[in-house]
Structure 1
């Protein structure tokens, strides 16, 4: 059996992470806080006092002391295990005090006492189960966050001669990562940018995105020709599909739409674009908003659909791109975001309207934030697909 890695004092990393998860679970679910201090104990305490006061001030034929069994149940939902246990004991003591104040003919004693004791024990056990479930969920989210940072590595705000901003919204909020991907790779032949969307969801889509990004980071750095980078990506998706098929997996037919951009190293005010069936990018700036006419290429992984003798790679096209303009790239989670009435999000019209009102909206951070807020507002926060908004501008 493999031993867990040990830290200082012989304490294993597994134990430390488990304890950390427990503390985080308790902290995250103490939602009732005032000035940084938890007040989760206030509602069950107020309920206990209210029941005791009402029971002491009603007639003997209307006894509600047995309602004290509700107190540990309320504590189990919002307090920690020790707090719930404390309320279970406090409820027993409160019941004994309240019940003993009544004459003998109105006292319930043993039946209600057993009821409150059992209620306290069950509430404490339920609280322990709840906290363990929260710890498990936090560990899963931590793993998902690690995967996200591995696939979508953090990028400096200024990288490769570009200022950029990005927003990634996973349709599955617990997964934190899906089939959308993006990256910037500076190199001796200029800076390359890749934004794409793998068909489907789940771990298979994440694996395909990771495979494409790893190839892009190497080819984007070493290859002098952007067309060669594009070819390397097509080979990589084919190899990935062959590997998945050899394993007998049913998702071996995945494909990906993508935009591959190249910014020449000589500082030319231009951008080279290879479009693998992706939504065309927008350029926003002082001269308005325009869509780059780059449609027509097949997605990565569908090159075998092309008849023999017909080029499978989309062409590399160059477009003017001034220093005061921003290139906006999005996945179909933006353009296919639907309002309750079924209408799609009008990306170009909305960006044009925003720039008409304030030209500063063209800055990458502002532009990305504007599109993100617009998509969430348009769809009422109900995302049916992973959504990526990516904007770059020359420094």
Structure 2
């Protein structure tokens, strides 16, 4: 499955064409037929008016034709139907004897209604274009912060799904990355407290620091210290700008895959949900310590974050998620039982542990559990060493978003 692309990426001539072409409501063999709705309405009005008595004339209802077109069609199509409605009114009304004609008052009604419908269609199309432009900006921002990861990056099979609780914004405070370096490969997943551009800005700052420190630093504890320092500096900067988000923090999990060591993984936890390790032995929670969230390290007595060296079989996959998964509730308020559900899935099909299959499964089950209504941004990220467990499944690396 290919990584997501923005609407304007898939349609490079979007600004020259009506936005409606990308929001097809009615299609036949891939071609839009939304114009059939106002056309059929016009035909029905003309036929019914012709077959009724003179005391019951509905030809003035032609005013609804352009209004319907304004909702479904583009500006020029709406203008065409406004003209057709006016012509139909004149011809249908002229077919009746003088005493039964609707007269000029209804003619003015159809004329003014057509003009207003064209203006309404123009406003609607402009608003849709602005919306698509903003979604394109959000999509570009998302790709900049959450950069695409090449297959096998850093010697890891990986797959990721990002679901934004705000389907229009498409971006929140969740972040993740893989950084190969001089001392092995490091993995980071986290969630910035809060929402909006401030959360995105903090996530970008942390990812920038991670990519540099994870590449150069030999000790994972030093990488963790750099992340803590960066979060504090970011808060100082926002306060100096007069913003009210100086208490922002981020939960995160930092993993290290040392060069040449295949039986263990290093882990540092910053108040985040621990990763799950999935393999032939089942599902287990990976201990990552009880560190405070990034930005709150000054509340402790100091010292470097504790780095735990945890055994990890070569065929085990690590699953990291944000609280959009762990806090997903069903209609009764029950949380999604992630670990138990995965244990059952592995029993049914051991291939569920493959990163591509795993993130797709957790995505689908999370959305099913909460009925498609996420209260928070959700990231599902799975990694394992290359060559473990055979080739990647058909799902492949994926990245998704919640559609409204």
Mapped to 1, the partners of 2:51 and 2:88 lie a distance apart of 15
Q: Is the 8 A contact 2:174 2:322 kept in 1?
A: yes
Deviation at 1:311, TM superposition (A): 3.4
Question: In 1, are the aligned partners of 2:18 and 2:125 still within 8 Å (CA)?
Answer: no
Q: Give the corresponding residue for 1:4.
A: none
- Mapped pair 1:81 → 2:72: no
Q: How does 1:77-116 map to 2 (within 5 A)?
A: 77-116=71-110
Answering whether residue 175 of structure 2 is matched by residue 184 of structure 1, we say no
Offset from partner CA, 1:71-121 (integer Å, 9 cap, x none)? 000000111101000000000110111111111000012111100000000
Equivalent residues of 1:193, 1:260 under 8 A apart:
yes
Number of residue equivalences = 376
2:310 aligned residue (307, 319, 341): 319
Give CA-to-partner distance per residue, 1:111-136, whole Å, 9 cap, x none: 11100000000000000000000000
What is aligned with 1:371?
Answer: 362
TM-score scaled by length of structure 2: 0.91
Taking only aligned residues, the RMSD between alpha carbons, in angstroms, comes to: 1.3
Q: 1:261 is matched with which residue?
A: 255
**After the TM superposition, which segments of 4 or more aligned residues of structure 1 sit over 6 Å from their partners?**
none
Match of 1:342 among 327, 333, 336: 333
Distance across 2 between alignment mates of 1:296 and 1:323: 25
Q: How does 1:201-220 map to 2 (within 5 A)?
A: 201-220=195-214
C-alpha displacement of 1:21: 2.9
The 3 A distance-change label for structure 1 pair 216 and 24 is farther
Q: Distance in 2 between matches of 1:359 and 1:37?
A: 43
Query: Residue by residue, what CA displacement relative to the aligned partner does 1:317-344 show, whole Å, maximum 9, x if unpaired?
Result: 0111122110000011110011111000
Distance in 1 of aligned mates of 2:151 and 2:325: 23
Give the Cα–Cα distance (whole angstroms) in 2 for the partners of residues 355 and 29 of structure 1: 39
Q: State the partner residue of 1:8.
A: none
1:285 aligns with 2:279: yes
Q: How do 1:351-390 residues align onto structure 2 when only pairs under 5 Å count?
A: 351-390=342-381
Indicate the residue corresponding to 2:155 in structure 1: 161
Match of residue 397 from structure 2: none
Rounded to whole Å, the distance in 1 between the matches of 2:262 and 2:317 is 15
- Native 8 Å contact 1:289 1:351 kept in 2: yes
Change in CA separation of 1:357 and 1:145 when aligned onto 2, cut-off 3 Å: same
Name the SS of the counterpart of 1:160 in structure 2: helix
Q: 2:159 and 2:330 mapped to 1: Cα distance? A: 25
SS in 1 for 2:17: helix
Q: 2:192 aligns with which of 170, 191, 198?
A: 198
CA distance in 2, matches of 1:30, 1:334: 32
Asked if residue 52 in structure 1 is aligned to residue 42 in structure 2, the reply is no
Shift of 1:252: 1.2
The answer (yes or no) to whether the contact 1:69–1:120 under 8 Å persists in 2 is yes
| TM-score, structure 1 as length reference | 0.93
2:13, 2:191 → 1: CA distance?
37
Structure 2: state its 5+ residue gaps: 1-10, 387-404
Alpha-carbon distance between aligned partners in 2 of 1:318 and 1:251, rounded to the nearest angstrom: 35
Shift of 1:158: 1.3
Give a deviation string over 1:191-220, Cα, whole Å, max 9, x none. Answer: 000000000000000000000000000000
Partner Cα distance (2:303, 2:50) in 1: 85
> 1:303 Cα shift?
1.2
Shift of 1:354: 0.3
Q: CA deviation at 1:251?
A: 0.7
Return the match for 2:241 from 242, 247, 252: 247
Q: CA deviation at 1:34?
A: 1.0
Partner residue in 2 for 1:331: 322
- Output the CA distance in 2 between the equivalents of 1:301 and 1:313: 14
* Structure 1 position 268, deviation (Å): 2.6
Cα distance in 2 for residues equivalent to 1:47 and 1:377: 39
In 2, Cα distance between equivalents of 1:122 and 1:18:
31
- Give the distance between the partners of 1:63 and 1:136, measured in 2 at CA: 42
The CA distance in 2 between the partners of 1:312 and 1:20, in whole Å, is 54
Q: Matched residues in 2 for 1:131 and 1:162: separation?
A: 45
Work out which structure has the larger RCO, using CA pairs closer than 8 Å and 6 or more positions apart in sequence: 2
Post-superposition offset of 1:137: 0.3
